[in-house]
């Protein structure tokens, strides 16, 4: 049981640290080297120690049915942790950006290395800001919407609270602190199996009422998020329809040439 407990303690230690400092495996791969070395050394000691063999001689060692039940429990727990860690690693690996030139695109699609999307026909392309390291922002406009921002990012968004954190960050960058937002509409739905959140706010700018619509599409199989931000002056209904239509054509699974 002492030998078996080493597995259990090490697995507990690893996952407790993951809970405290985030995902250890992808960002700190060398973290496991001292643990593996300790495991090997301690196992050699347990099997080769003369003191332990003298303290519990082979004639007194018994391993009955309950011992095998204990072994089975340990194996099940270890297999569960291994499956969760492997699934997490695979998910993070698939969420890494890839070279823009190597992405296979369908007709009319654009890509930022994280997602593939198709701009709406009425959108006029203004510019692309950013870089491969920090991410890209595609800027468009229409007659009704002078400012349309399309941005994809690597982020672990699972709930609406995570979505509101993204919204708050963008709000602090786009709007001055003196602006007071009034919520006009919100949406919580699913598009192609992905979580879809949308909020529309109104605020007063230079005496005129302005509407800001922000939406995000969050897949369950990737740590990626596609966001769309648009500002209108007359009505926000059109911006909501644009967001719904745009998000339906977003692809998170990218294939290389």
Q: Are residues 86 and 124 in the same domain?
A: no
pLDDT (tens, 9 = 90+) of the chain, 257 residues, equals: 666 676 667 667 766 665 554 444 444 555 566 767 777 787 777 777 777 777 777 676 666 787 788 778 878 877 887 888 788 888 888 888 888 888 999 998 999 999 999 999 999 988 998 887 778 889 999 988 888 999 998 888 878 888 888 888 777 777 767 778 888 998 999 999 999 999 999 988 877 888 999 999 999 889 999 999 998 888 888 899 999 999 999 999 998 88
pLDDT of residue 46: 72
Is 255 domain-assigned?
A: no
Is 60 domain-assigned?
A: yes
Q: How many domains does the chain have?
A: 2
Angle between helices 2-21 and 32-48 (to 10 degrees): 170
**For residues 115 and 228, what is the distance between their CA atoms, to the nearest angstrom?**
13
Q: Are residues 59 and 16 in the same domain?
A: yes
Residue that finishes a domain, picked among 94, 109, 127: 94
pLDDT of residue 6: 67
Residue that finishes a domain, picked among 79, 94, 109: 94
Q: Are residues 48 and 114 in the same domain?
A: no
pLDDT of residue 224: 92
85 is in which domain, residue-wise? Answer: 2-94
Q: Are residues 78 and 134 in the same domain?
A: no
Q: Are residues 183 and 121 in the same domain?
A: yes
Contact predicate 229/148, CB 8 Å: yes
Is 140 domain-assigned?
A: yes
pLDDT of residue 41: 81
Is 163 domain-assigned?
A: yes
Contact predicate 111/103, CB 8 Å: yes
Q: Are residues 136 and 223 in the same domain?
A: yes
By C-alpha distance, which of 153, 128, 157 is closest to 140? Answer: 128
Q: Are residues 192 and 177 in the same domain?
A: yes
Give every CB contact of residue 138 below 8 A, 6+ residues apart in sequence. Answer: 110, 112, 119, 125, 128, 149, 150, 151
Q: Are residues 50 and 136 in the same domain?
A: no
């Amino acid at each position: 049981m002492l030998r078996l407990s080493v597995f259990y303690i090490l697995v507990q230690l690893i996952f407790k640290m993951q809970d405290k400092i985030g995902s250890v495996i992808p960002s700190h791969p060398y973290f496991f080297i001292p643990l593996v070395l300790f495991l090997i050394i301690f196992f050699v000691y347990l099997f080769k120690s003369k003191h332990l063999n003298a303290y519990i001689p082979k004639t007194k060692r018994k391993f009955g049915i309950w011992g095998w039940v204990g072994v089975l429990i340990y194996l099940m727990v270890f297999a569960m942790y291994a499956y969760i860690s492997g699934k997490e690693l695979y998910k993070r690996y698939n969420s890494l950006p890839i070279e823009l030139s190597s992405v296979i695109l369908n007709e009319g699609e654009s890509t930022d290395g994280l997602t593939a999307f198709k701009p709406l026909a009425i959108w006029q392309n203004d510019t692309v800001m950013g870089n491969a390291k920090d991410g890209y922002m595609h800027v468009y406009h229409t007659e009704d919407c002078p400012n349309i921002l399309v941005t994809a990012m690597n982020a672990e968004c699972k709930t609406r609270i995570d979505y509101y954190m993204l919204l708050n960050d963008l709000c602090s960058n786009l709007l001055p602190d003196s602006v007071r937002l009034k919520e006009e509409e919100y949406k919580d739905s699913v598009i192609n199996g992905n979580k879809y959140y949308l909020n529309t706010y109104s605020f007063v700018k230079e005496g005129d009422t302005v509407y800001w619509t922000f939406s995000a599409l969050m897949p369950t199989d990737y740590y990626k998020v596609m966001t769309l931000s648009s500002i209108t002056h007359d009505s926000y209904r059109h911006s909501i329809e644009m967001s719904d239509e745009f998000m339906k054509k977003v692809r998170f699974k990218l294939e290389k040439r």
